[in-house]
Structure 1
């Protein structure tokens, strides 16, 4: 029996335009981490290479936001690392939760 609360979310984010260019960020969050009456997800990665450079990013989502058709999403907001004399801001929502055999664990 697997725990249905242990899950990840996909995300695809476009950064703010700084110095005439943007970067894209996409990936999967880490597994759910209980926090109060809700939960959050940690995430990290590297942006696309645009304008000859990349940026790193990492953060923690906000608590879950219910979706009208079922499931939930989370807000991602933050700032990339400061590289090539600038950084980029981002704000978006994750996709609805995705269960993955890689990230599920057995219920005790």
Structure 2
């Protein structure tokens, strides 16, 4: 029997009922991009968006995953969790990340850096809202 925290997730996206009476769902994520560490004479580029929002006491984190671009005839998958929010939790916050990729062609790389500030990935551009709040339930 598996006991994982992120198996069942209920997402509560911020809704807006503006004066015009329409409801809009708004979702925020962070961009992640850069180059891996140098291993066996090559690097890979990576680019992705953060995934789930993980609330914490006075802060939050995000999960992320992706696949690097091909370099030296192969690519690497990666996944992890960002560090806590830096610079508050408002529109100017970001996260640091550092993760080892999965093995490919007999080696790994490290991806590291900082995310962008939050970006809107869905919902109305006419409104400003808070971040997604997801509750993670143990199954």
Structure 2 length as normaliser, TM-score?
A: 0.66
Q: How many angstroms does 1:3 deviate by?
A: 7.8
Who is 1:14 aligned against?
A: 35
Q: How many angstroms does 1:100 deviate by?
A: 2.1
> d(CA) in 1 for partners of 2:28 and 2:53?
6
> d(CA) in 1 for partners of 2:34 and 2:79?
13
Once the two structures are superposed, residues 3-31 of structure 1 have per-residue CA deviations (whole angstroms, 9 ceiling, x without a partner) of: 87x52001112100000000011011014
Matches within 5 A, 1:11-50: 11-50=32-71
> d(CA) in 1 for partners of 2:57 and 2:79?
22
Q: How many angstroms does 1:37 deviate by?
A: 1.4
Structure 1 length as normaliser, TM-score?
A: 0.83
Mind listing any 5+ residue stretches in structure 2 that lack a counterpart?
1-15, 17-23, 124-130, 133-139
> d(CA) in 1 for partners of 2:87 and 2:52?
18
Q: Does the Cα contact within 8 Å between 2:52 and 2:64 map onto a contact in 1? A: no
Moved more, 93-102 or 54-63: 93-102
State the Cα RMSD in Å. 2.2
Who is 2:98 aligned against?
A: 77
Is 1:89 the counterpart of 2:110? The answer is yes
**Alignment coverage as a number of residue pairs:** 101
Mind listing any 5+ residue stretches in structure 1 that lack a counterpart?
none
Structure number, greater radius of gyration: 2
Is 1:57 the counterpart of 2:55? The answer is no
